[in-house]
Amino acid sequence: MARKKIFVIGAGPGGLAAAMLLAGRGYHVEVFEKQSYLGGRTSSFTKDGYTFDRGPTFLSMPYILEELFDAVGRRMNDYLSMIEIDPMYELKFDTLSVFPSRDSSITKERIDQTFPGEGEGYLQFMRETEKKMNALMPVLQNRHSSLLDYTRWRTIKALPELSLGQSLYQVLSKYFKDERLKLAFTFQSKYLGMSPWDCPGAFSILSYMEHKYGVFHPTGGLNQIPKAMAKVVQEFGGSIHLNTGVEKLITKNKKIIGIETTSGDRLHCDDVVINADFAKAMTTIVEDRDLKIYTKKRLEKKKYSCSTFMIYAGVKKTFDLPHHTILFSNDYKKNVEEITHSKILSEDPSIYIQNASVTDGELAEKGKSAMYLLAPVPNNFSLIDWEENKHAFKQLVYEQVEKKTGFKGLRENLEVEEIITPLDWEEKHHVYKGATFNLAHNLGQMMYFRPHNKFQELENCWLVGGGTHPGSGLPTIFESARITANLIFDADKEVLVST
């Protein structure tokens, strides 16, 4: 019997994780990537001796990734060298900083020193959110292709833990009195591109995940993860085609029978796994006539995450400062409102700073630092003119970092600088409306109400990545790949049984 041929569109972490699982089970797998590099948003670039992760820089719950490698008879540690970051990050509020550790006793002590009497609230948060996590993980790790899934015991059992009707900020208000501590345990909603005042309370598990499982950095950067998975795909005989975009899906009676590449090649396959940005794929490679739920017009009405303004700075200086720093705006709520609701540029942005060279000597020459600065900003529904505003906003980010942190002299020691604006995310990196964290994660766009892993509009079509269940963030993207691969395995078992 001929091996089933599966094409994966997009060499991001979700696509490569799915490709690895499928290739490891004997499928004929080919990955098609429009860019000249692997990883999508989880990729890297090197310039004049400096190497930068393009997108994600945090990895938590590495055991999920380890399980994916185990599933195909490989050891993750043979491909990746993980470094745990401790303290996990510096959370900086004006002149006050918090340095959480995975060691809960250390974190409690640090909280009590800075916020007297608040340490017990932290321990209560960890105890109660562990119960929430245990209830929610079976829901997040399983498919949601039918409304009947909500009647399953695993979902019914999880309902009391969903914090329905409460925002993430409201949930954390139960544990902490000080506003800064509430923000210290809700800023992770930015991983979803959402405001903690809008983000569903169920996502308190995000900060728990970091505090429970730690924060890790693979030597060489997170870009090494898709590279490692691609290597495994090739070890199993899979092919990866870089610089090979997909122009459109070839369909017949709403059933995918192949793809047409940007070079005009028409290639037959049995199934397609789409890892491209979901809304971008639906509006470019799928004919609108083949869609009903996710037409161009309907996609414009969906809710989307914020975007990010990126500065990659190679500086001839080192900083004995944390690997990760989150610099909070003086009025964080106002800043978040500007990003998510009024959609204007903030005069006092919150900024994430990665100083990876303090941990990883592979990213820059000795005595130099590969710095990564990120400011959450509105997506392109804002109609902000980035060509006009780019330079001034860049200078504002530098000014805030140099004024409020120990990262002094960045501009004076600058050797390399690259900028990515929301417009660049959309036009150069193919992210719909520059919404770097994909579809928003409100309750109306989660689980069954998110695009299904077995895509409901086309036969032989599957989804992985942040635009499908369970959502954005590397651990959940890896879970999307596992869910989708298992769905394909199960579907093929049914076919084999029926034939």
Query: Residue 94: which of 178, 180, 169 has the closest Cα?
Result: 180
- pLDDT of res. 141: 59
SS3 state at 239: strand
Element containing residue 249 per DSSP (H, E): strand 246-252
Q: How far apart (Å, rounded) are the C-alpha atoms in residues 274 and 281?
A: 8
Nearest to 6 by CA among 498, 456, 485: 485
User: Which residue in this structure is represented by tokens 């692997």?
Assistant: 38
Flag residues of the chain having pLDDT under 70.
1-2, 137-164, 494-499
CB 327 within 8 A of CB 399: no
How far is 203 from 222, CA to CA, in rounded Å?
23
pLDDT given at position 147? 46
Do 434 and 423 meet the contact criterion of CB atoms below 8 Å apart?
Answer: yes
**Cα three-residue angle 345-348-350, rounded to 5 degrees:** 90
Euclidean distance between CA atoms 150 and 156, whole angstroms:
7
What CA–CA distance (Å, rounded) separates 437 from 452? 17
Q: Token match 């972490």: residue? A: 13
pLDDT of residue 376: 95
Q: What is the pLDDT of residue 1?
A: 44
**Residues 229-264: tens digit of each pLDDT:** 999 999 999 999 999 999 999 999 999 999 999 999
Positive or negative, the Cα torsion across 177, 308, 473, 165?
positive
Q: Which of 3.40.50.300, 3.40.50.720, 1.10.287.110, 3.50.50.60 would CATH assign to domain 5-42+61-68+221-302+440-498? A: 3.50.50.60
pLDDT at 232: 98
pLDDT, one tens digit per residue, over 117-142 is 999 999 999 999 998 888 776 666 56
pTM, two decimals, is 0.92
Residue type, 443: L
**Domain boundaries in the chain?**
5-42+61-68+221-302+440-498, 103-212, 306-433
CA–CA gap between residue 124 and residue 117 (Å, rounded): 13
| Percentages of the chain per state (helix, strand, coil), in multiples of 5 | 40, 20, 40
